[in-house]
Amino acid sequence: MPPTKRIARTPAPTKRVSRPTTPAAQDEPDEDDFPQAPDTDDDAPLEQPAARNGNGAKPRLKRGWTGGQQVMESTSDYAQAFRPDETSQVVKFLEDSPYASFRRHWIEGTNDSGQRTVRAYTCPLSFNEACPLCEAGDRPQAVSCFNVALVSEDGQVILKSWEVGARLFNVLKGYANDPKISPLSRHFFLVSKTGKKSNTQYNVSPVRKTSLSEDYDVTPPEDDDLARLTLYTEDIVKVEPIRRLRELAQELVADDGGGYEG
């Protein structure tokens, strides 16, 4: 993440629109906010039999931690980011190229409790429109987003959005242009990272499906499970109203002691 500029107050709530920055995750409602099942009595009608699939078998609900994660993330309106860590993880590219590429500003501020916050804002230059934040001197970051499936050891999959910067983009582009490896969706990949902040290094290496169980004790996912994943499109990427970006630009310049005319 490039250096960020600091502003003095919390960004105002924004409306969701249908074009491209993936914001920070929103707070989930407390369990006490969930509607409770009504009380029943002996005169209540009997529950209807469970639905059956085409083979007459009762459909199965999700099981385990991965199944629970699938359900939790399926209810979100935001792309769920894939975040590599020090432990190697297995991913499968679901497309052969990024589903969205754009420029993104990272703006630092504080919330009502005085805690530091950093939020992302899509740069209007991504759409060839003037950007108040760029005019105020803030430099955006280039990002490309890939649809990937994160594969657990038992072969379950979770849809993720892998947002990569310029260095990782070039690594993946190299694999995409390598006739021994391409297209990206052909193989699985082992992904891990080392170091922190500016010293972070990502390790990405292709793995054949047959090697998952033989060499890494990972059950290969079923093709049907991969096909059932609903892919992200550019509509999942958030765009702020231009008036909000002008407000942020004014605060950035004021914080630096200058002036902004937008």
Which H, E and C letters describe the chain, residue by residue? CCCCEECCCCCCCCCCCCCCCCCCCCCCCCHHHCCCCCCCCCCCCCCCCCCCCCCCCCCCCCCHHHHHHHHHHHCCCCCCECCCCCCCEEEEECCCCCCEEEEEEEEEEECCCCCEEEEEEECHHHHCCCCHHHHCCCCCEEEEEEEEEEECCCCCEEEEEEEECHHHHHHHHHHHCCCCCCCHHHCEEEEEEECCHHHCEEEEEEECHHHHHHHHCCCCCCHHHHHCCCCCCHHHCCCCCHHHHHHHHHHHHHHCCCCCCC
Instruction: For residue 72, name the pLDDT band (cuts at 50, 70, 90).
Output: low
Radius of gyration for the chain, computed over Cα atoms and rounded to the nearest angstrom: 22
pLDDT at 28 over 90: no
* Higher-confidence position of 86 and 68: 86
Quick one: average pLDDT of 194-216?
Answer: 92
Determine, yes or no, domain membership for 262.
Answer: no
* Phi-psi domain of 3 (left: phi exceeds 0; alpha: psi -120 through 50; beta: other): beta
In a domain, 105, yes or no: yes
Indicate the pLDDT class of residue 41, thresholds 50, 70 and 90.
very low
Tell me if 120 sits within 8 A of 21, measured CB to CB: yes
Q: What is the pLDDT of residue 250?
A: 94
Contacts of 10 (CB under 8 A, 6+ apart): 109, 110, 111, 112, 117
Q: Are 175 and 122 in contact (CB under 8 A)?
A: no
The answer to whether the bond into 183 is cis (omega within 30° of 0) is: yes
Supply the pLDDT for residue 215.
Answer: 93
pLDDT above 80 (res 31):
no
Name 98's Cβ contacts closer than 8 Å, sequence gap at least 6: 144, 145, 146
Backbone dihedral region for residue 136 (phi beyond 0: left; psi -120 to 50: alpha; all else: beta) = alpha
Instruction: Flag whether 163 is in a domain.
Output: yes
- The CB density around residue 68, as the number of other CB atoms within 10 Å, is 11
| Mean pLDDT, residues 94-116 | 93
From CA 151, how far away is CA 158, in angstroms rounded?
A: 7
**Is the pLDDT at 153 greater than 50, yes or no?**
yes
**pLDDT beyond 50 at 46:** no
Q: Is the pLDDT of residue 209 over 90?
A: yes
Residue 66, pLDDT > 70, answer: no
Q: Would you say residue 53 lies in a domain?
A: no
Query: Residues 210-236: what's their mean pLDDT?
Result: 95
pLDDT value for 196: 87
Looking at residue 166, its pLDDT comes to 95
Name the domain count of the chain: 1
Cα–chain center distance at 117:
18
What pLDDT score does 182 carry? 95
Domain membership of residue 52 (yes or no) is: no
Whether 218 has a pLDDT exceeding 50, the answer reads yes
pTM: 0.70
What is the model's pLDDT at position 110? Answer: 83
pLDDT average, residue stretch 29-40: 40
Smallest CA-to-CA distance from 248 within 113, 141, 107 is with 107
What pLDDT is stored for residue 15 in this prediction?
36
- Least confident segment among 50-59, 122-131, 161-170, 218-227: 50-59
Higher pLDDT, 12 or 244: 244
Average pLDDT over residues 196-213: 92
Residue 31 included in any domain: no
The pair of structure tokens assigned to 179 is 């006739």
Between 123 and 199, name the one with better pLDDT: 123
Q: Report the distance separating Cα 247 and Cα 260, nearest Å.
A: 10
Parent domain of 103: 5-23+64-255
State residue 29's pLDDT score: 38
Model confidence band, residue 262 (pLDDT cutoffs 50, 70, 90): low
Q: Does 178 or 259 have the greater pLDDT score?
A: 178
> Do the domain assignments include residue 28?
no
Give a yes or no: residue 68 inside a domain: yes
